[in-house]
Structure 1
């Protein structure tokens, strides 16, 4: 949502964190690409009658996006994904610190997971 020169992104708090990030980055994609609403959902006149305290352009921009496979949606998803790749801290092979007392057990368990590491002295 754009209002008074500021852009706001809202998301459902009950979503899983990874889905929240996806939604937020997708919406950032719309902002970065300067996407406008595809078609007015509500006319400026109707907006003034129904929502007199809100700017009609802000209402159009907030409510007017088409959520389908439109080019703007695909572009926003791509831009959001590219941003996510640059800022993501999630890594499939994330290595967590192992306390000294558990290092021998962790090494033996790792060898079961990855047979190539067996017999290796680390």
Structure 2
């Protein structure tokens, strides 16, 4: 089995497309995000990670989807519209609302991702994954947050 086959299988089960999106995420941000939008599920992952790390990040985010985790609200819909007017408040809540800590949901997603990883073949970062048109603005905003001046000297 491959990650693409897993995404296809989950898409058939849920009736919603699952798209993997490599992105240059800002320093200090999570290595991956699960975004549930109106028409599809998106797994955004840091494109500069080693391939084996990319695989684990993707499987972790798919673990959230498989476990049907919900995000905790962090912004009211009104605040979301003021800060990010072009993005749907529900999308913002699902993306930013989850705790990125040792919460039960994070531990569960990591465990599920690790179990699935035992069945997945070798991950290849060579596949080109274009950013879908409806997610280009989000990808641009995330990439724009990355400021090279704040990077450590190790990169």
Q: Matches of residues 101-120 of structure 1 in structure 2 within 5 Å?
A: none
State the distance in 2 between where 1:19 and 1:89 align. 12
What RMSD in Å do the two structures reach over aligned CA positions?
Answer: 1.4
- The TM-score, its normalising length taken from structure 1, stands at 0.68
Aligned to 1:97: none
State the distance in 2 between where 1:74 and 1:88 align. 23
- If each structure's helix is expressed as a fraction of its own residues, which one has the higher value? 1
Gaps of 5+ in 1: 91-122
Match of 1:62 among 95, 102, 105: 95
Aligned to 1:20: 54
Provide Cα deviations, 1:88-121, integer angstroms capped at 9, x if missing partner.
Answer: 348xxxxxxxxxxxxxxxxxxxxxxxxxxxxxxx
* Displacement of 1:75: 0.7
* Displacement of 1:27: 0.1
State the distance in 2 between where 1:7 and 1:68 align. 22
State the distance in 2 between where 1:36 and 1:6 align. 16
Structure 1 runs of 4+ with >2 Å offset: none
* Displacement of 1:58: 0.7
- The TM-score, its normalising length taken from structure 2, stands at 0.54
Provide Cα deviations, 1:48-103, integer angstroms capped at 9, x if missing partner.
Answer: 1222221111100101111111100111011111111111348xxxxxxxxxxxxx
- If each structure's strand is expressed as a fraction of its own residues, which one has the higher value? 2
Is residue 2:105 matched to residue 1:72?
A: yes
* Displacement of 1:5: 3.5
Q: Matches of residues 44-63 of structure 1 in structure 2 within 5 Å?
A: 44-63=77-96
